[in-house]
Amino acid sequence: MKLFSTSVAYVLQVDKALELFSQAITVAPEHPSSYNNRAQALRLKGDITGNALSYNIGSE
């Protein structure tokens, strides 16, 4: 799921990618890369606050 959602983000289907990253976080919240990927997708949308929050959670 992570690879697919990252690919979706790169073709600028950011909303779909965010949905998939959130699903990945729900399934496996212990994997920080999903939070970091969601942070990057939020950055692409211009959501700097969401980006920082998601990145910080993934960095813990």
Closest CA to 10 of 48, 40, 31: 40
Question: Is CATH 1.25.40.10 the right assignment for the domain spanning 2-59?
Answer: yes
CA atoms of 13 and 8, how far apart (whole Å): 6
Tell me what pLDDT residue 28 has. 93
- 44 or 7, greater pLDDT: 44
d(Cα 59, Cα 20) in Å, to the nearest integer?
Answer: 20
User: Which tens digits make up the pLDDT trace of 4-38?
Assistant: 556 655 667 888 888 989 999 999 999 888 888 88
Question: Which pLDDT value is given to residue 23?
Answer: 93
Q: Which residues contact 22 (CB under 8 A, 6 or more apart)?
A: 38
User: Does residue 43 register a pLDDT over 90?
Assistant: no
